[in-house]
Amino acid sequence: MYEYTTHLEKWLTFQRSSLELVAQLPPPKFESLQFHTKDINVENYNSWIEILREKGINNQMPVLYYFNIESTFDCSKIHSQINEMKRKCEGSSLIMLPKINSTQSESSSVLYVGKTNSNFLHRFKTHIGITPNKIYALQLAQWATNFDLKLNLYFAPYTLPKEQHNLLEQVEHVLHFNLKPILGRAGH
């Protein structure tokens, strides 16, 4: 017979110890990169990657990040555009768009919250969406270029031992819970 109560206690103990470790981490130190969705193209993408590299970002480090909309926007139009793209791509696995969050996110200017344990520059590329692939990401080039959104990518590299990379997911949960992004699910 499955020992749910015993397993629940073990899991709760593990979660408590993880949260205690998260509480001891230094707060994220965000830097930013600003761009307009109407400017998404390969040339600009390459210049944005260079800026990220100049700011010390490489593909070996864990990074916590979020996209904030700095311009005026209509959340319902973003939801509609994402839903339309999802309908168009139904049955195809080339473009995988993030989950649309509930109406509580409509007062938020945060588009998406994420983290990656490595390959941040590649993750940024999937979010820009110049070359769509089979990874859930914003895929901005596929739907957002008509909006002319002014976005800030806020990113915070972390120096964590490999065995503590799972803590970054907990930090992502903190951001997701408080920032209430328009798109994307918490942790994965």
Vertex 159: Cα angle to 187 and 128 (nearest 5): 50
Helices (H), the chain: 4-24, 42-54, 75-89, 120-128, 140-143, 166-179
Give the pLDDT of the chain (188 residues) as one tens digit per residue.
578 999 999 999 999 998 999 899 999 999 999 999 999 999 999 999 999 999 999 999 999 999 999 999 988 899 889 888 888 877 666 678 888 887 666 689 999 999 999 999 999 999 999 876 778 899 999 889 888 899 999 999 998 888 888 899 999 999 999 999 999 988 76
pTM of the shown model: 0.90
